[in-house]
Structure 1
Amino acid sequence: MFDHAIDEWLNSDILLTNVVAGSSPAPISEVMSAAKTALPDTSYVSSLRKPRHENTVFMAYVEMQKQSPYYGKRMEVLINPYTAEVTAVREWGHYFTSFIYLLHFTLLLDEYGALFLGFLAILILLNVIIGVYLGWPKSKAAWDWLLARKHRKTPLIGKLRRWHILTGLISLPVFVILILTGISMIFHDQTEAIFDRPQPPKLVVDNDPAQSIAIDSWLPSVKTHWPDAEWMRIGQPTTASPAATITIRKANDPRKTGGSSMLWLHPQTNQVLAEQNYDKLSVRQKTAFWLFPLHSGEALHMPGRLLVFICGLLTTILTIAGGWLWYKRKFRPKRRLT
């Protein structure tokens, strides 16, 4: 939920810049060039991500050639947006916030860990449904007890049971959304098929060998096509995908840090070859772009992130109270009949 902010706090020396008044951003072409030359044997820049705010850096993810020792690894190049100087090169998954992220959805066991977590999440969802059925108050007296309307002395085990049920019912809507969205991201191929998520177009681009690639003209062309949109990421043309790929965020976009709209430009003429307009997608297709923002809380800005954070704390309370209740029930001394 707060990984980027925490990363900037922990690594301010490489992620934050001292902006001098009146400083102008470096041309995007210089930033892309710095990203591509930061490591030897770089094949191309797969994603150049816009700085989160004026005091932070560009993040460029580069694909390496097969002879590179970094081939197959997710290498991240950090670039000062005003000087186009590389401030650091690091491998995603090897610094703190990315390590926690990787642990969260793979348990550090690659796709096998992700599948394990996916099936575990399905079991947790079934367990939640059973728990709601067992804990839902079925009479006025049960509601009075749950909400402590009648002030009477309750033993600790009774208070734990009350807190367990009340916490579960309060956090239920958010908890179910988090489980379902987590499952959808682990089984992403099936999810994309269910929601008919748009796929990148297969484009044929005729480049003129005598003409250079106009990187600095890409973003003005985007602004001309969609004046009210904000660019978030740039992908270089490749043999497999010969167009320049620009990821766009619009005002109503649930993906605040990524964007759900896209433009594919001719890298030399800046002509728009294809587009993915979030506003024109079906409700079913739009749902696919809500899954991660709902899971992280970013769809609802800071209130959404805080809501997910609080739900995480309530889950901890549920776990402790539920574990104690199980222990007391499992190992409580049996009453002797006289």
Structure 2
Amino acid sequence: MQLKIGIIGLGRIGNIHYNNIRYHIPEAEVVMVSDVDKNRMPDDVPYGDAGTLIGHPDVEAVVICSPTDTHANYVAQCAREGKHVFCEKPLDLSLARIRETLAVVRQHDIQLMLGFNRRFDANFMKLKALVDEGKIGDVQLVKITSRDPAPPSVDYLKSSGGLFLDMTIHDFDMARYVMGKEVKEVYAAASALTGGAVAEADDIDTAVVTLKFEDGSMAVIDNSRKAVYGYDQRLEVFGSKGMAHVENNKPDTHMYYNGEGAASALPLHFFMERYTMSYLTEMKAFVKSVQGKQPVPVGGGDGLKATMLAVAAQQSVERNTPVTLVGENVVHQ
């Protein structure tokens, strides 16, 4: 039997999920869609407002791709209606609101998966497998580079929650995922160096974050909103038995040499090109979990912990001091 899915929000990410489910996941079917912009609606799928979609008897699971400030409300509504949920990150910008929403999810016993798609990138999955197989030994240091080719619009920046909650949150989740450990301390430094939309939004665009894990091992994350050469996504894991790393994906692998030097293709331009297959793989995992009544691979607790790290990083920048995490609490030193 196909899983009957409704999609709320048909912007860039919503369209990716819609097309993946519609054309590449035969185990699922899009039976209804919703978006505030009626021009985004496909002609051959029923549509309605979000409340109608969530309450529709044919909808078994809901994919939420609407703006961040709607996520928690929609997830709670879905839970009360007994609908499973795939929700893009973050669940909310407020830790208190996330905790309240997760309590509703537990009360109604639905599946909730968060959209940390980088876990499902084939390159990163291979690196994670090497860690799990013990090939790296005791992991001592993870290095993550994550840089966008250009900042988003001012309107987007003003509602995004800032660089840590919008962008670095993926890297926080990746660090926890690769390490398989919990973070106990966060120390971050950040600046606004590119001007333009970032300065107008009073945001930051460049950051370095150090995470210290419970056993003393560490992760270092560096971010930028503006890498002129493309979408820079690299990951390295170093341990007692060796090192593994993932380089950027490129449109081709050619190298050109002449008397002046060598040249190659630039990295893929943006996340939709770089992570095309990961979006499909994560949605397949969600459908499989719901149909098999198995735990989802990235749950609400993972989303809460990644958001906690983002909040801690913000506080670290503001106070210019490390911030400690104890359980599910951010503690100021």
TM-score (norm 2): 0.24
Higher RCO (CA-CA < 8 Å; seq separation 6+): 2
TM-score (norm 1): 0.24
Structure number having the greater strand percentage: 2
Structure number having the greater helix percentage: 1
- Bigger Rg, structure 1 or 2: 1
